[in-house]
Every structure is written in structure tokens, then in C-alpha cells.
Amino acid sequence: MEKEQNHQVTKRNNPYMSFLWIILTLLLLNGLVFPKLSNQQIIATDYGSFIEKVDSGKVKDVAIKSNHIYFTTEERGKTLTYQTGETNDPQLVERLLNAQSPNKNNKISFNQIIPRENSPILDFLLMWILPGLIFYLIWRQAGKSIQARMNGGGNFMSFGNSGAKIYAESEIKTTFANVAGQDEAKEALMEIADFLHNPSKYTQIGASLPKGVLLVGPPGTGKTLIARALAGEAHVPFFAISGSEFVQMFVGMGAAKVRDLFKQANEKAPCIIFIDEIDAIGKSRNTGLGGNDEREQTLNQLLTEMDGFDGRKGVVILAATNRPESLDKALLRPGRFDRRVQMELPDLEGRKAILEVHLKKVKHEEIDIDIVARATVGSSGAELANIVNEAALRAVRMGRKKVTTADLEESVETVIAGAQKKNKILSDTEKEIVAYHEIGHALVAAMQSHSAPVHKITIIPRTSGALGYTMQVESSEQLLQSKENLFKRIVTLTGGRSAEEVMCHTITTGASNDIEQATKLARAMVTRYGMSSRYDMTGLETMNNSYLGGDGSLTCSPETAADIDHEVINIIKDAHTKAKEIISTHTEIMHRAAAFLMEKETITGDEFMKIVEECGENKT
């Protein structure tokens, strides 16, 4: 109620609104009233008609102005104004002196000029109101910037407004119950929530609240969500701002925003400040490429403010980034961001918990969460939320009112490989090649021990460009991978091309993605995992931006880089040879499974393994 009253008072006292209403009123009067008073319709005519009207006594008065003759007549009880061009007529004056006006008693008056002027209201607006308003606005703006300078507000354009979104404690409904799959992160932040609730429990022993907490992890792991949840658990105001909002065109504006943000936070303490994507202003200054004055001043101001405020007041700064290695060392030292919380991709149990949280929001039947969780290895919390939403949308499209396990499985495939392209029709030859290609992957995986079981095989084209795929689902979470297991994965990746060569006696472009993945995995074995007999445990590559997919760069000589290429080629060749041997040995399975797949277009892993068992084959 108090906020509403203050808003109404501000609205009534706003001088801009008063000027606006005055201008609108004057313009309305000018447009509606004055045209009826001043604007006369002028009728163009020829000089002969003018002389004729003069001689017939119809002309009342005449005015000569700017090579034009204006004259008025009385016709049918109305006064009409005419205009004609001035000609070199030496008898015009004599004719006008001798002619009579319409009332027959007076001569024609020809010394009166009919002016066409702007309305007095418009002249008043242009000459007095508009210049006065402009000077007032300039004076008001200059006063604000002078005040901002006196208060340390930075340059001329700075108004001391941080731009942060401020949420009152009653507005935040998110708590740790809404965050799943990040138990370690919640445990680390729970202590901060407890400190904000019961500071005396910690201050009496001499402990102080961590000034800053850095949330680090891949995109979609819930860094912003857990920051809001901390504010919801602690029941304190929440300031949310993005790092990019501090970066401005003019030097000093970002620093002014930082000052204003911490000033507001100290006034509302205890509270939480959350800076998303802090790397936008916190990049290392030791780049050697020349600095950015605005960004560096903003960073320096942030460092100063973090040193200046008292941690016992209960102001906590949370910051999130996907690139912790790019942050300035001064920002990460103790006393500033004291604690780093890792927000990693969820494991199997974490994915189950996240799916359960999101499934509460939709109507569903009994769901086999274990199958869905095992099929989404490497998925973040945001991706799992998207999968559940896609499943709900699919249920609506299918005319059902509840989500099923099949909906979730299909949504997983949609997220991974794209939606089905129902209008994509393959020729019989292409369909046969794709079927043998996918069965080749499945057979090589099935014939190797310690390989992930085949879950599904399909030759239905997808919008991602895949003409088919083979899905493998691990029976349990794999945290460590041996050299043998990685080599078997490469063998499985080469199984598709090997099947094309052995069964169809051709090679196609369908193995492009397999080749890319196999090469990437073989190179990692040599350069990062130390799984090469030639280079032993030597690290030959470093990874940057590991949370954003990774960007590898070799740390070796050009000669060594060439040798690495040879090592990678040898690994791929050995895997390819082994895959062709497996397929050549089990041609009966290939023929039967490929024919079954071409008929059904999609088969399950159990159906495929049934064919394998019927042929009585054993794994190697």
C-alpha cells in the first residue's frame, strides 16, 4: 500500500508529465479551434475573371502581394477569397478607383493585404514553450551529472543505477528442494544459509562469513537456480545482475554500477548478490594484448568493494562462470571469492532425482526412471527438464492425458538425434546400406565383452541428418575407462563402415560422424590419457574451456605432432581391421538382423540379441 501511494505521489509531482499535458492541450486547441478562425480557403482564378468581377461590381477589396492579386467577393451571402497572377496592366488602378463595391455606395478598397500567418498558439509553442522545455531538460540533466560526480558517480553519463534486479525475500519461492542432483553443492551452500539465519553461532567462535562463492560448471547445471534457492532458504533479499551489464561504452560507468550495487546491498543487509557470467568483467588482466580500460576499471572497483565491506553484516556475493581458468587471480584469492563450488553434470542417481523433480510438474503414468536416466548420460539438469517437457508435448500430440515411459524415450532420441523425418523416403539400395551399417555397429558392440548393451536400432531418418543410429545404454555408471574399453569403443564406431565394405562392397558418406568421434577418441588416448606405448605418460595436449566442450592445443614440437598423427592413424587402422574381422565372421547374423531391421525399421536391443543367441555366437 505504501509503495502504491509513493508511486502515485511521484506520478503527480513529475514535472515531465505536467509539461507533456500542457503541450498536448495547446496542440489540441491549435488543431481544432484556430483553423476555423484563421484558415480561409483561397480559390485560384484567371486575370480575366478578376476584371469581369471588378466591372460587374462583385469585388469587395483587393490586395496585391508577392506578384499575386488577392480579392474577395460577396456571393450568395458568403465571402469568398480568390487569387490570380499580377500582370502589367497600367489601367488596373484606374479601373479599381472607378469601380464600385457590392454595396453600391463605397469604392473598392485595394490597399488591404490578406496575410496567411501561423496561429498565435503555434507561435507561442515554438517561441516560448519548446525552448523553455529544452533548456529545463538540459539544466536538469547537467545537475544530475554534477551531483553524480560529487558523489563519485563517474562520468557525465553515469546516474549511479546498478541495473540489478532486486527480489524481496517474500518473492523468492525457490528452495533447495527444487534443486536435485547437486548434493555436494547444496551442502556447501547450506552453511551460508545457516550463517545468515544464526550469525551469532559462528561469530561467537570468531568465524566470519565467506565473502564470495564462485559457482563453476558446464551450462545448464543449475548455477542460477541454486543461487536463487540459497536466497529462498535464507529468506533474504536477492540482487541478480549479469556481468555483461557492467560493461558500458564510456569509461567509468561500469565502476559506478558496482559502487551503487554494493551501496544498495549494504542498505538491505543481510542479502545475497548474484553476478551471472562474471568472466565478462573478471577476465585476467595478464593477457599481453593490451587492456580494456572500462572492463579493468570495473574489475578494480569490484575488487575494492569486496575488500571494503564487512562480512559480518551478512552480504554474500555469488558468481557463476563456465570459464574459471580465464578469471583474474586477484579475484580468486582468499578474502574475495573464498569458496569454489563445483556444479558438475549429474551422475546416474542425480539424473534420477532431477527427472523426479520435473516429473512432478506433469501428469504421468508409472515411469521407468532408471531406463531414462541411463539413456541420458552426460545430460545437464536443463537438458533433462527439456526432455520431460518434450515428452509432455508428445503425449498431447498423441491424444493422451498422461506421459508414459515411451514418451520420455522418444524425447531423449529427439534431443539427441532430432525429430523423425517422416517424409524422408530412402531408396531400396540406400535403405539396405543404412540397415547393414547400423547392424554393423550393433554386432561389433555385441561381440565384444565389457561393451555397453545395445538398447535400440533404427533406420528412420532424423532432422539432425542421421539416416539411422544405434543406441547403447550402459548398465551402470562408468567413472573410469581402461585403454582396452576405449579401444573397443573405437572398434564399435568403425563397425558401420566395416559393414558397408564387407556386406555391401562399397563405402558411403554415412560414416562421417563415426570417423570424427573415433579420431577424437584415439587422439585423446595418445595426447591426454597417456595410452600410447611410444610416448608413455607424456602430456602432449592441454584443454581450455573444459566446461564448454573443450578446446585442445598441442604442447609439443611439429615433429612430435606429426608422430602423434601416425599413432592415431595406427589406432584407427587396428580398430577398423578388428571390426571387419568380427563382421566377416558373423555374416549370418548380419543378413538376418539387417533383413529384420529393413522390415520393422526400428528394433529393440532385446530383439537383436535374440537373433544373436539363435545363431549361437559368443563374445570375444
What pLDDT is attached to residue 443? Answer: 95
Average pLDDT over residues 245-271: 79
What's the pTM value of the predicted model, to 2 decimals?
A: 0.68
Pick the closest to residue 477 from 388, 378, 617, 390 (CA basis). 378
Which is it for the CA torsion 133, 136, 140, 142, positive or negative? positive
Average pLDDT over residues 184-193: 88
Given a cut of 70, whether residue 577 has pLDDT beyond it is yes
Kindly give, in sequence order, each residue whose CB lies less than 8 Å from that of residue 226, ignoring residues fewer than 6 positions away: 176, 179, 182, 185, 186, 189, 215, 343
Pick the closest to residue 572 from 533, 615, 516, 500 (CA basis). 516
Catalytic one of 438, 477, 581, 614: 438
What pLDDT is attached to residue 546? Answer: 78
The b-or-e profile of 583-600 (16+ CB within 10 A means b, else e) is beebeebbeebbebbbee
First to last CA, the chain: 77
**pLDDT above 70 coverage of the chain, percent:** 79
Cα–Cα distance list, 542 to 161, 213, 325, 538 (Å): 42, 27, 12, 12
Grid cell, residue 260, equals 551503487
Per the prediction, the chain carries an average pLDDT of 80
Grid cell, residue 463, equals 532432422
| Per-residue confidence band for 157, with pLDDT thresholds at 50, 70 and 90 | very low
What pLDDT is attached to residue 570? Answer: 95
Of 78-87, 513-522, 531-540, 575-584, minimum mean pLDDT range: 78-87
Q: What are phi and psi of 356, to 5 degrees?
A: -65, -40
4 in active site: no
Grid cell, residue 312, equals 559480518
What pLDDT is attached to residue 4? Answer: 43
Q: Which residues pair with 107 in a beta bridge?
A: 100
Given a cut of 70, whether residue 125 has pLDDT beyond it is no
What DSSP string runs through 224-292?
HHHHHHHHHHHT--EEEEEGGGG--SSTTHHHHHHHHHHHHHHHT-SEEEEEESTHHHHB-S--SS---
Residue 452, H or E segment: none
Q: Count of CB atoms within 10 A of residue 306's CB?
A: 20
Contact between residue 568 and residue 523 where contact means Cβ atoms under 8 Å apart: yes
Given a cut of 90, whether residue 144 has pLDDT beyond it is no
What pLDDT is attached to residue 58? Answer: 77
More confident residue, 450 or 123: 450
| Per-residue confidence band for 210, with pLDDT thresholds at 50, 70 and 90 | confident
Given a cut of 60, whether residue 47 has pLDDT beyond it is yes
What pLDDT is attached to residue 137? Answer: 74
What pLDDT is attached to residue 578? Answer: 96
| Per-residue confidence band for 620, with pLDDT thresholds at 50, 70 and 90 | low
pLDDT digits (tens, 9 = 90+) for 89-106: 777 776 777 676 666 556
Question: What torsion do the CA atoms of 61, 64, 69, 73 make, to the nearest 10 degrees?
Answer: -10
What pLDDT is attached to residue 6? Answer: 43
Grid cell, residue 3, equals 509503495
Average pLDDT over residues 408-432: 83
Q: Count of CB atoms within 10 A of residue 366's CB?
A: 8
What pLDDT is attached to residue 270? Answer: 82
| Per-residue confidence band for 439, with pLDDT thresholds at 50, 70 and 90 | very high
What pLDDT is attached to residue 243? Answer: 83
The b-or-e profile of 249-272 (16+ CB within 10 A means b, else e) is eebbbbbbbbbbbbebbeebbbbb
Distance (Å, whole) CA 549 – CA 524: 14
The b-or-e profile of 370-389 (16+ CB within 10 A means b, else e) is eebbbbbbebbbebbbbbbe
| Per-residue confidence band for 566, with pLDDT thresholds at 50, 70 and 90 | very high
What pLDDT is attached to residue 386? Answer: 92
Distance (Å, whole) CA 371 – CA 379: 14
What DSSP string runs through 368-424?
-HHHHHHTTTT--HHHHHHHHHHHHHHHHHTT-SSB-HHHHHHHHHHHHH-SB-TT-
Residue 173: strand, helix, or coil = coil
| Per-residue confidence band for 438, with pLDDT thresholds at 50, 70 and 90 | very high
Given a cut of 90, whether residue 303 has pLDDT beyond it is no
Contact between residue 99 and residue 107 where contact means Cβ atoms under 8 Å apart: yes
Distance (Å, whole) CA 293 – CA 520: 40
Q: Which residues pair with 167 in a beta bridge?
A: 238
Given a cut of 60, whether residue 46 has pLDDT beyond it is yes
More confident residue, 406 or 113: 406
Given a cut of 60, whether residue 618 has pLDDT beyond it is no
pLDDT digits (tens, 9 = 90+) for 380-389: 999 999 999 9
What pLDDT is attached to residue 607? Answer: 92
Is 199 buried (19+), middle (13-18) or exposed (0-12) by CB count in 10 A?
middle
Q: Which residues pair with 365 in a beta bridge?
A: none
Residue 215: strand, helix, or coil = strand
Domains of the chain: 2-33+119-150 (no CATH), 41-98 (3.30.720.210), 165-342 (3.40.50.300), 348-416 (1.10.8.60), 428-614 (1.20.58.760)
Q: Count of CB atoms within 10 A of residue 215's CB?
A: 29
| Per-residue confidence band for 165, with pLDDT thresholds at 50, 70 and 90 | low
**pLDDT above 90 coverage of the chain, percent:** 28
More confident residue, 110 or 338: 338
Given a cut of 80, whether residue 133 has pLDDT beyond it is no
Average pLDDT over residues 364-373: 90
Total residue length of the chain: 620
Of 188-197, 415-424, 518-527, 559-568, minimum mean pLDDT range: 415-424
Residue owning grid cell 540459497: 230
